[in-house]
Structure 1
Amino acid sequence: MELTQSKRIHLIDGLRGFSLSGIIVANMLIFQYGLLGETMPELFGIAGADFAFHSFLFIAVVGSFMPIFAFMFGLGMVKLADSLKARELRPKCHLARRFLLLFILGMLHATFLWEGDILTFYGATGFFLLLFLNRKPKTLLVWAALLLAIMGVLGAFPSDTGVTEFGDSEHTRTYVMQSRDVYGSGTYEEIKDFRNNADPFGTGEAWIMAVAVLLAPLMIAPMFLLGMRAAKVGTFDDPVAMRRTYARRAAVFVSVGLLTKSFSVIAPQFGASGLPGVGIGDTLGGSLLALGYIYAFALLYASSRRFAILKRFEAVGRLSLTNYLMQSVICTTIFYGYGLGLFGRAGVAVGTLIVLAVYAAQLWLSPLYLNKFRSGPVEKALRVWTYLSWKGQPRKPVRVEPPENAELSERIRA
């Protein structure tokens, strides 16, 4: 039991850390080309082998690692709620405070640093997820499957409906060209002003933004719900016993995810963007591939062999929020004009090597940091606010728990 419990704790941390490796690679396209420019490689002269690598990233990485983070968000939410209940505290009250701070951090992140923030969305989604906190696993599965089905249907329509060609207009292209100059050579104030005030869409396209805002939660909500269900049914409680289940699910989801995403990326390049189903990779494929990656990674913990790299993934995962924000600080400094000014200039392959070097540094530094401190500064602030305690601990007396359960609760809260 002790070994199984330990693997469960490390697996949760490791998955968080693993997701950040893909998140920084996917975000590199936004750091270097902008939130809209990443889908317009022709405006940055991306061609040949670099264009092929760009396509590869959109198939294997973009849209398939952020959902892993969402899955772990849902799983951690349920585990934290269970821990709060065991301490006779009100889960929804504490979780609401936690989500409020995430939302505020996200707003600050997006306003003062980078346009690709996800914390605002996660904080807002957390309040919605409170409606499902006490629901049965079957209910969570039904809702997740229903939302996935809706996204699959939306993706089945040809791209000329406007659903899969977001912001593809002359006005948007002009905006992207302007962003290339501003982000590449502008000062911090100039970049911040452009990010917060420039209009990427014309007045006639305002409805596109409204549609995107409505669809975004639908696309990612199933992963939150599936993560909550995984916590309730104990999907990762015994990795060894679940080895075959992980293997089967990984094989199915990775295959289907890669197939649908490949079709969505490659078909338009051959003039087939109007084919029915070409958008399924964008609306559904990313989540399916993310599930495949989750189960494939979990297989590493079902093995009797202890891979050294896993300990470093776990350390990055224990500092996930701090590391995520540090990625933004470092990468904007590398690509923006007030830093090295590599925006739109490094290329896709070189840009990927750059951000992987940043992540490698986090793999190296995170264990060293945890040798001296129990949690990261952002994680500590989140716990202080959640519990309204400078120690970051619940104020009420704690019931005696078995050592392994206490360790798991501590990791989940971090």
Structure 2
Amino acid sequence: MSLVKQRINIIDGIRGFSLLGILLANLLIFQFGIFGKDEIHYYQLSTVDTYAYYFTKVVIEGAFLPIFMFIFGYSLILMRNKLKENNKRVKWHLFRRFALLMTLGILHSTYLWEGDILFVYGLMGVLLLVMVNRKPKTLLIWAVLLFSLLFIGSLFEAEEIKMIRADKIDLYMKQTQEIYGSGTYSEIRAHSLDDEMLDMSGGEAAFMLFLTPFVLSPMFLIGMYAAHRKWLQNTSSKIKQFTILSGLFIPIGLLLKATPLLSKQWDYRLDMSMIGGSMLAIGYISLFVYMYNHQKFRRFLSGFESMGKLSLTNYLMQSMICTFLFYGYGLGWFGDLGVILATVVGVIIFGTQALLSSIYLKYLPIGPIEYLVRLVVYLKIPKFKKHTSLEYNHKKAI
């Protein structure tokens, strides 16, 4: 059987692992609001919760979305290879996939939760179509170039960007706490879509939108390059390399992620958290691969695979569950739990999803949203066949 026809379980595992980190980071938004998570002084956190908040900001937030970007890019090349092998029109099939992601993202952000990532991922997918047939060397050069530009840009002191008008921040935060905590669905959606408080002109917003692809592209490109080099295939023969990468990138990434906090003690404002998040993501991926290839960790980490196989369905379900728990039209826990207790709730949600996903996959091979994606991409009713894992023989061997 061709390699592109086989499923690589470790990719599903890493994707599922990223969903855990994304959920834990998103809990700051679910509990404090998309702007309130960075204005935490408006909430009365205990000392322990304050430390937990900064731990989440450094260790989790901004480090797991890049993992998802990496896997997105990796999977993009695998899909391209499969489409080429089956003599399909590669770019048209991929374009339909990304257009659907953008549509789901718009619906998600408009009617459920404003912290959506699907639209941006779909948009990035469309833009990356120009790179889908490029040589691995070209992908790597562009990734390094864009990373370098981001690194250089972060060295220059800049004024802190305020998304909310300074003269209305107090009013906005008060309204957010009241409306999200006890408001109706209509009131919450109206508040989340209200742009009168924003401290940005149309030109500034357009400029930020223009910069977004350049800021996000490096990790997508690294993932595409890694797929060409088959980084996540036959990982048992590359343990030494992944050990070195995790030992190098995790501490460096954590240090760079902490620069916004450390710079408060300096006269010079320095924020290298975005670069640090990408480096930390590479370190986390490497650590996951290292642990995945050891029997004592393998059984535990394989639990992430079911989450990864149903990633779209589980991601949207997390939004439905958390908005119900924290918003006024549900249990109304907004701003009440504290960081540690909310994290415990997040772990319980994730664990329950993983268990239910594992049970679901025993009966059906694909999730409902994944089914919709495949239907749109191939424009025909999917026919399911059992897949073979590239990691299966290795799993039996260890």
TM-score (norm 1): 0.88
Q: Does 2:329 correspond to 1:338?
A: yes
Query: What residue number does 2:294 align with?
Result: 303
CA 1:168 to 1:236, structure 2 compared with 1: closer, same or farther past 3 Å? farther
Q: Matched residues in 2 for 1:107 and 1:200: separation? A: 21
Instruction: Please give the alpha-carbon distance, in whole angstroms, between the structure 2 residues aligned to 1:125 and 1:63.
Output: 17
Per the alignment, residue 357 of structure 1 pairs with 348
Contact 2:163 2:198 in 1 (8 A): no
For 2:194 and 2:296, how far apart are their aligned partners in 1?
A: 53
**What do the CA deviations read for 1:348-379 (whole angstroms, capped 9, x no partner)?**
11111111110111121111010111010000
Q: Which runs of 5 or more structure 1 residues have no equivalent in the other structure?
A: 408-414
Q: Measure how far apart 1:166 and its partner are.
A: 5.0
CA change 1:125–1:6 in 2 (3 A) is closer
CA distance in 1 between counterparts of 2:163 and 2:195 reads: 17
Question: Is this contact kept in 2: 1:385–1:392, CA < 8 A?
Answer: no
Q: Give, in whole Å, the separation in 2 of the partners of 1:147 and 1:319.
A: 31
- Alpha-carbon distance in 1 for matches of 2:65, 2:77: 19
Q: Which amino acid aligns with 1:162?
A: E
Between the two proteins, what is the percent identity of the paired residues?
A: 38
Task: Select the residue among 257, 281, 293 that pairs with 2:284.
Answer: 293
Is the Cα contact below 8 Å between 1:152 and 1:280 reproduced in 2? yes
Tell me what 2:396 maps to: none
Moved over 4 A (4+): 4-8, 165-168, 204-208, 402-405
- Residue equivalent to 1:155: 154
Residue 251 of structure 2 corresponds to which residue in structure 1?
A: 255
Higher mean displacement: 41-50 or 121-130: 41-50
Which amino acid counterpart does residue 256 of structure 2 have in structure 1?
T
Alpha-carbon distance in 2 for matches of 1:122, 1:5: 23
Correspondences of 1:172-251 after superposition (within 5 Å) = 172-202=169-199, 208-251=204-247
Q: Is residue 91 of structure 1 aligned with residue 82 of structure 2?
A: no
TM-aligned CA deviation for residue 391 of structure 1:
2.1
Structure 1 residue 9, shift from structure 2 partner:
1.1
Contact 1:240 1:301 in 2 (8 A): no
Q: Which amino acid aligns with 2:257?
A: K
Which letter does structure 1 place at the counterpart of 2:193?
N
C-alpha separation in 1, matches of 2:383 and 2:377: 8
Deviation sequence 1:232-260 (CA, Å, 0-9, x none): 11111121111111011111111110011
Residue in 2 that maps onto 1:384: 375
Matched, 1:9 2:5: no
Match of 1:120 in 2: 119
Cα distance in structure 2, aligned partners of 1:57 and 1:208: 29
**Aligned equivalent of 1:348, options 339, 342, 350:** 339
Q: Partner residue of 2:271? A: 279
Q: What CA distance in whole angstroms lies between the structure 1 residues aligned with 2:341 and 2:99?
A: 37
Partners in 1 of 2:325 and 2:373 — Cα distance? 28
Q: Is the 8 A contact 2:183 2:328 kept in 1?
A: yes
TM-score by length of 2: 0.92
Deviation at 1:264, TM superposition (A): 1.9
Q: CA deviation at 1:29?
A: 0.4
Q: Is residue 59–residue 258 contact of structure 1 (8 Å, CA) maintained in 2?
A: yes
Equivalent in the alignment of 1:372? 363
1:91–1:173 distance in 2 versus 1, CA, 3 Å: farther
Aligned in 2, Cα 1:153/1:367: closer, same or farther, shift over 3 Å? same
SS of 1:197's partner is coil
Amino acid at match of 1:275: Y
Paired residues of 2:143 and 2:218 also in contact (CA < 8 A): yes
Rounded Cα–Cα distance in structure 1 between residues aligned with 2:28 and 2:239: 35
Q: Judging changes above 3 Å, is the alpha-carbon distance between structure 1 residues 392 and 110 closer, same or farther for their aligned structure 2 residues?
A: farther
| 1:19–1:320 distance in 2 versus 1, CA, 3 Å | same
Counterparts of 1:21 and 1:353 in 2: how far apart (Å)?
12
The match for 1:411 is none
Q: Following TM superposition, by how much is the alpha carbon of 1:230 offset from its aligned partner in structure 2, in angstroms? A: 0.7
C-alpha displacement at 1:265, in angstroms? 2.6
8 A Cα contact 1:157 1:279, kept in partner:
no
Tell me if structure 2 keeps the 8 A contact 1:6–1:404. Answer: no
Q: Distance in 1 between matches of 2:326 and 2:334?
A: 5
> Aligned equivalents of 1:356 and 1:43: distance in 2?
26
Following the alignment from structure 1 to structure 2, what is the Cα–Cα distance between the partners of residues 329 and 19? 19
Distance in 1 (alpha carbons) for counterparts of 2:106 and 2:136: 32
Paired residues, number: 390
Q: Once the 2 structures are TM-superposed, how far is the Cα of residue 138 of structure 1 from its aligned partner?
A: 1.1
Amino acid at match of 2:333: L
Whether contact under 8 Å (1:384, 1:392) holds in the other structure is no
Structure 1's 275 and 252: CA in aligned 2 closer, same or farther, altered over 3 A?
A: same
Q: Which amino acid aligns with 1:221?
A: S
Q: Which amino acid aligns with 1:259?
A: L
The counterpart of 1:323, out of the listed 309, 314, 339, is 314
CA contact (8 A) 1:380 1:392 kept: no
2:7–2:389 CA contact under 8 A, matched in 1: no
Structure 2 gap ranges (5+): 393-398
